[in-house]
Amino acid sequence: MNCSTLVASLFVLAVLGGTAQAATTDCPRKDALGTSRVIAVDAATYPRVGLKSFPQSLPLRDKEVVLTFDDGPWPPTTKKVLAALAQECVHATFFLIGKPASEHPDIVKLIEAGGHTIGHHSWSHPDLAHMPESDAISQIDRGIAADEKALHGTATTTPSTPFFRFPGFQSTPALLDLMQSRGISVFGADLWASDWHEMSSKQELELLIRRLKEARKGIILLHDPKAHTAAMLPAFLRYLRENDYHVVQVVPKQATVDISRTP
């Protein structure tokens, strides 16, 4: 069954406590992995998360993961990633680069239509920590504006989803303070597959599984423009399902999410 034929049902977050249980009854595959629950995040409670960069991560239970993808949209591979996620009725977070978002707004809208969370990742992915602060802020704002225009038709530096990931995790104390003052949560990661290196999808899968077994939970960083990641993803989602892992989606606090939406 094509997921786009599903009848949408709005799921309103119970923001008290910052979490809500995700309804999975609308998934056409009853044996699918699914999205087990939703965590509502705001910068007051979670200004910076991800143990690779910060002392705090999200309040994940054992064998819970948050799937995140950086550097898109990139049509040839992002569509494959979206198809794999839809097949398992799973929702992820995409940290978009503004330039390709402005070039491929149709893919940005596909991501949104799939019920995924859209965060921000600068305009062109430079090292923001090693440039004049004014240039770094321009990169941040231009990227957010491009993403928002692709999503909603209007360029604004006030993000509808106030989530940001620094390219290469390269930030400065001043930039981190700026993001918190603007109510934007900064995401690092807890583990990754190092998919920025050349490798086969089999090698990536083995590396990611090994690291997940060690960590047991966490925010996972992947890159949807990488062909080997797109090829690896169905097998990884199958591994999560067959080994009793649970996928958690992150959304802005006090948001309303239609988790039945899939491409």
Instruction: Specify the pLDDT at position 10.
Output: 29
Show the domains of the chain with their CATH numbers.
Answer: 3-257 (3.20.20.370)
In order of 73, 245, 250, the CA distances from 3 in angstroms are 21, 22, 21
Low-confidence ranges of the chain (pLDDT < 70): 1-25, 255-263
pLDDT, tens digit, 9 for 90 and up, residues 200-221: 999 999 999 999 999 999 999 9
What are 165's two structure tokens? 């990931």
pLDDT, tens digit, 9 for 90 and up, residues 7-35: 233 232 333 233 444 434 478 888 999 99
Cα separation, 184 vs 143, whole angstroms: 14
Instruction: Specify the pLDDT at position 210.
Output: 98
